[in-house]
Amino acid sequence: MSHILNELQKVKDYYAQDALQKRFSALICGESGSGKTFLLRTCRLPVHIDSFDPGGTKCLLADPKMAKDDPKRIFRLRTEENPKGQIIADTQWEGEDPLSPDRFAKWKKVTDYRLMIGYFKYFGTYALDTTTTWATSAMYGQTDGAVPDWGKDYVPVKHDMTIYITKLMALSCDFLALGHLNKNEKLLSYDRKSGIKTFETTYRFLTVGKAVVTIPLLFDELYVLKTTEKAAGLERYIVTEAQGEYQARSRLKGSGMLNVEEPADIKSLLRKIGMSDEDKPRLDTIKEE
């Protein structure tokens, strides 16, 4: 019996000391303009963003005070202004040339180097923005701009993407991957007399091939960021559970920690689930080891 109790204690001790249990990971999808990148202002600082969306991080440089002149920017009023130098956007991955692709291969080398030197331990959040353009870059690199072949190209790209998402899952900081949504319409009925057609509309994570299934499975949480226009302006919120047309899931929702809809604020969400929302030290205070 003592051997069993000793082994049980080892498992408990490992879990208590496992840094991965103290970090948050989520794939957050939304339509263009829904505020996915802007959501990163609400994360634990400092934030490192690997940006594959051309010009996608420009919103992080905007002055929230601009919202007073435009009610449609009210979301910015409720978001803390980006502390200078604490949100780092690496934009060298943007603007891939499909006829001469090199971004994804370079990103892999740089990511491996940063993992090796412990670069990410100084960050509260790592973000991949977006996984959709990241996957497109990966496919361009695989085909050199040619039309993809299902058997020859899709499987290697999915494998490569899975390996690097798994590597990034080992980070001790929070990991947010942003993604676009793909709209699908299925014809349910057609009235020949009136010409009226009824469709079923669904939205799914937009990526290449079977990765639409395998990539979301790697994340703890799968959310959808939605925007609703109200009298006061745009209101953004996170959907944590599937609602008909949207695909979302949450282990934390199943534990009763989250509602079906939550405010678009990552720190607020972290507090609600009992995780730390504390920022790490400012980057300008790092001393050479």
Per the DSSP assignment, residues forming a β-bridge with 175 are: 25, 126
Of 49, 55, 64, 48, the residue nearest 32 (C-alpha) = 55
Q: By mean pLDDT, which of 76-80, 238-242, 266-270 is the weakest?
A: 76-80
Q: What percent of the chain lies above the pLDDT cut of 90?
A: 35
Domain 24-279 is of which CATH architecture? Answer: 3-Layer(aba) Sandwich (3.40)
Q: What would the pLDDT profile of 79-138 be if each residue is shown by its tens digit?
A: 344 556 788 899 999 988 888 999 999 999 999 999 999 999 999 999 999 899 999 999
Helix residue spans in the chain (DSSP H): 2-17, 74-77, 103-117, 131-143, 155-169, 211-217, 251-254, 266-272
- CA–CA separation, 96 vs 100, rounded Å? 8
Q: What would the pLDDT profile of 24-46 be if each residue is shown by its tens digit?
A: 999 999 888 788 888 998 999 99
Q: What would the pLDDT profile of 72-95 be if each residue is shown by its tens digit?
A: 333 333 334 455 678 889 999 998
- CA–CA separation, 116 vs 131, rounded Å? 22
Write down the pLDDT at residue 65: 46
